[in-house]
């Protein structure tokens, strides 16, 4: 029986490379000269420290640009509210979304059921397995899910006949 998995994964090594690229660019840019701006990768989050709101916004743009160059969708970033830190700086935690949470999984299963295709969807931890008798039904399901435009990037893996 043909099937495929819907997952949301990111390559953390590429995230590290993007963070290193942002730090290199901050070190060489004139507008960041003498600032205390920094970016660190800690487990499943990034910590941004900036002098003011303008530099924080510029760091957001740099981070999104470097992630895109590394073929990582910027939708994996979940920005928290900036908070005041020591020395009149701003600190912001950016969570990296990975895995499909229960709420999103239920939304995807409901969308698949509403499409009235002859496929079954099963939630398996942080991924979704879709199976059906015909390959065409599975391909239509993939198109429907892509059309939903979920803010979290999804990958379709393990397509088996």
The bridge status of strand 127-132 relative to strand 119-124 is antiparallel
Alpha-carbon distance 106 to 123, whole Å? 8
Task: Please report the pLDDT score of residue 137 as a whole number.
Answer: 87
Task: Please report the pLDDT score of residue 160 as a whole number.
Answer: 83
Q: Which residue's structure tokens are 């698949």? A: 112
Instruction: Say if residues 115 and 134 touch (Cβ distance below 8 Å).
Output: no
Alpha-carbon distance 56 to 64, whole Å? 12
Q: Could you list the pLDDT tens digit for every one of the 161 residues in the chain?
A: 888 988 988 989 999 999 999 999 999 999 888 888 899 999 889 999 999 999 999 999 999 999 999 999 888 999 999 999 888 889 999 999 988 888 888 888 988 888 888 988 888 888 889 998 988 888 888 888 888 888 888 888 888 87
Instruction: Say if residues 2 and 117 touch (Cβ distance below 8 Å).
Output: no
Task: Please report the pLDDT score of residue 22 as a whole number.
Answer: 93
Task: Please report the pLDDT score of residue 44 as a whole number.
Answer: 87
Cβ count within 10 A of residue 71 = 8
Q: Which of 22, 53, 49, 21 is nearest to 36 (CA)?
A: 49
């Amino acid at each position: 029986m043909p099937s495929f998995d819907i997952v949301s994964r990111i390559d953390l090594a590429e995230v590290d490379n993007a963070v290193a690229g942002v730090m290199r660019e901050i070190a060489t840019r004139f507008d960041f000269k003498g600032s205390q701006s920094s970016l660190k990768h800690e487990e499943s989050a990034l910590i941004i420290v900036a002098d003011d709101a303008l530099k924080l916004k510029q760091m957001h743009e740099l981070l999104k640009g470097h992630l895109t160059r590394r073929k990582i969708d910027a939708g994996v970033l979940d920005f928290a509210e900036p908070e005041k830190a020591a020395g009149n700086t701003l600190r912001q935690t950016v969570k990296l979304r990975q895995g499909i949470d229960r709420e999103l999984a239920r939304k995807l299963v409901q969308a698949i059921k509403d499409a009235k295709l002859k496929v079954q969807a099963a939630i398996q931890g942080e991924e979704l397995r879709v199976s059906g008798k015909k390959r065409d039904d599975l391909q239509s399901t993939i198109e429907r899910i892509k059309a939903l435009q979920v803010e979290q990037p999804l990958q379709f893996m393990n397509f088996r006949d």
